[in-house]
Amino acid sequence: MKNPIFKAVLIGAVFYIALMIVEGALHPAILPAAAIGAVILGFLATVFLWENEHAVHKGEVIVLWTMVLLFVVYGVTFFFLGGVFA
């Protein structure tokens, strides 16, 4: 393994994939979403396997901003659909 960051990402990805599998088994209604999430997380964890450092940096930035924007979309959607204040 290349560096400690890759090890941390790999451990985190394995943990969350296992968590998604367990939650999917306990709550069959979320199994499709858990499976899709596990596949996407596994794919995104491979960013650190790329050899070109510029490509790794670009991949990290894309993943980071995608997560930030999806979190904002989730927050705005949750707020306007009632959310906590309903």
List CB contacts of 25: < 8 A, sequence separation 6 or more. Answer: 31
Q: What pLDDT is recorded for position 83?
A: 62
Is pLDDT of 2 > 70? Answer: no
Q: What is the pLDDT of residues 11-56, one digit of tens each?
A: 888 898 898 889 888 988 888 888 888 888 888 778 777 778 887 7
